[in-house]
């Protein structure tokens, strides 16, 4: 993480209800979704950080975030708000594909 001041225009948080937490399959889905946005997107399990790159499968899976954790997102860029909204929605629907997809 760099220490340069950076503002994040969009933030959001959501509780992980998935039985095994942010393990292999949910991690892949979260990373794949994050990568569809142009914005810089970070996640953390505490509002104080550490903040990690949500587009890095190694970082996401490596976080080993358990069930019941609050996952925080922050994003900066042209589609920051849409990115945070989509990621929160993914966790809320327990990493299942979108119903209308």
Which residues are near other proteins by CB under 8 A?
24-25, 28, 31-32, 35-36, 55-58, 61-62
- Minimum gap (Å) between residue 31 Cβ and other proteins: 6
- Minimum gap (Å) between residue 7 Cβ and other proteins: 25
Q: In terms of C-beta density within 10 A (0-12 exposed, 13-18 middle, 19 or more buried), how is residue 69 classed?
A: middle
Tokens representing 35 are 């990568």
Q: Does residue 23 have an active-site annotation?
A: yes
The H or E element spanning position 27 is helix 24-34
User: With respect to other proteins, which residue has the nearer C-beta, 13 or 57?
Assistant: 57
Quote the CA–CA distance of 55 and 35 in Å, as a whole number: 5
User: With respect to other proteins, which residue has the nearer C-beta, 55 or 74?
Assistant: 55
Q: Which residues are catalytic?
A: 23
């Amino acid at each position: 993480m760099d220490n340069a001041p950076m503002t994040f225009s969009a933030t959001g948080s959501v509780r992980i209800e998935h039985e095994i937490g942010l393990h292999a399959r949910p991690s892949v889905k979260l990373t794949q979704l994050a990568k569809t946005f142009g914005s810089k997107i970070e996640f953390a399990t505490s509002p104080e950080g550490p903040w990690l790159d949500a587009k890095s499968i190694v970082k996401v899976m490596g976080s080993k975030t358990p069930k019941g954790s609050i996952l925080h997102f922050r994003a900066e860029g042209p589609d920051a708000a849409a990115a945070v909204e989509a990621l929160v929605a993914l966790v809320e629907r327990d990493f299942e594909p979108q119903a209308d997809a």
